[in-house]
Amino acid sequence: MCHQTVGLIARHLEAIGIPTLCMGSALDIMEASNPPRAVFTDYPLGHTTGMPDDPKDQYEITRIGLEAFENIQQPGTILKLDREWTLDFNWKADTLDGTRGDERSSRDETPRYQLEEDRIAAEGA
Amino acid sequence: MSTIRYMEMIRERYSQLGYPVYQWYHADEPPAWTPLKKPLAESRVGVLCTAGTYAKGQVAYYYKDDTSIRSIPKDTMVEDIRFSHLTEQYLPAARKDPNCVFPLAPLKQLENEGMVGEIADDVLSCMGAVYSQRRTREELIPRVVDSFRTQGVDLAFLIPL
């Protein structure tokens, strides 16, 4: 869903004169929303700019993304990076495993703080 | 192994749960195109991350089509970066190391190295799991446009969860 939202935003910004670059890890959703410039990394969702605790990976992916503003010349290009998720070689099979079901949280209008201390910091005790 | 087809997978899971079939957006025309007006190394880059990022002290997101945005100063300490997003199963890594989806450290390093002119002072975030494409267009996008215009960005760097 996030990738679709980013695609919609990119297409709009570009139409009002702001060049955009979309990062992403869901290739089919990126292809469907067809943003002007995009960089695809074949990682599990949640790690769009690199593996956790791997500053080099994060730096390189972010750098390639920024460079793509100048490197992509053809509208609708998705640059596909040749990088492999090395933390778990079974991640794709696990993602496709239908027995895991849907893990979305319930949808309502209550802010969902990561930590209780955040709620106190934002709203008071 | 080939790339994962998320649209098909999510459609199947929703139908198993009894939800109506989700109508994914399919662009029916090519994207607009705006050439860069100046080199990347002289450009002010606006950043938007849709991972539901907020800074400690800010109100978190709610999960039912929240179309609000947060402005997170780029000098915010990484220890104060938080996430709240409908699909919490994708957040454990980011909650441990925010830079894997909200890359403040690499962006500032690249700014210091001169790869970009500058990173705009306020990094934007939203909770990108908005089911209503109408609300994305009518509520979320205008807020993003307003902030990027106010900040005078030359380019927009967009990062989904």
Q: What is the pLDDT of residues B27-51, one digit of tens each?
A: 999 999 999 999 999 999 999 999 9
Mean local confidence (pLDDT), B11-31: 88
Residue B103, pLDDT > 90, answer yes
User: Looking at the partner chain, which of B46, B48, B95 has a beta carbon nearest the beta carbon of A114?
Assistant: B95
Comparing A52-66, A90-104, B94-108, the range with the smallest average pLDDT is A90-104
DSSP B105-154: HHHHHHHHTTSSSEE-SEEEEEB-----HHHIIIIIHHHHHHHHHHTT-S
Q: What is the pLDDT of residues B41-81, one digit of tens each?
A: 999 999 999 999 999 999 999 999 999 999 999 999 999 99
Q: pTM (2 decimals)?
A: 0.96
pLDDT at B14: 81
Distance (Å) from the C-alpha of residue B4 to the closest C-alpha of chain A?
7
Mean local confidence (pLDDT), B106-121: 98
Residue A106, pLDDT > 90, answer no
Q: How many CB pairs under 8 A join A and B?
A: 285
B114 touches chain A (CB under 8 A): no
Mean local confidence (pLDDT), B91-105: 97
User: Looking at the partner chain, which of B8, B32, B48 has a beta carbon nearest the beta carbon of A9?
Assistant: B48
pLDDT at B81: 98
- For A99, the token pair is 């027995």
- Is the Cβ–Cβ distance between A46 and B102 less than 8 Å? no
pLDDT at A98: 66
- Can you tell me the ipTM of this complex? 0.96
Q: What is the pLDDT of residues A25-64, one digit of tens each?
A: 999 999 999 999 999 999 999 999 999 999 999 999 999 9
Which sign does the torsion angle of CA A20, B154, B151, B95 carry? positive
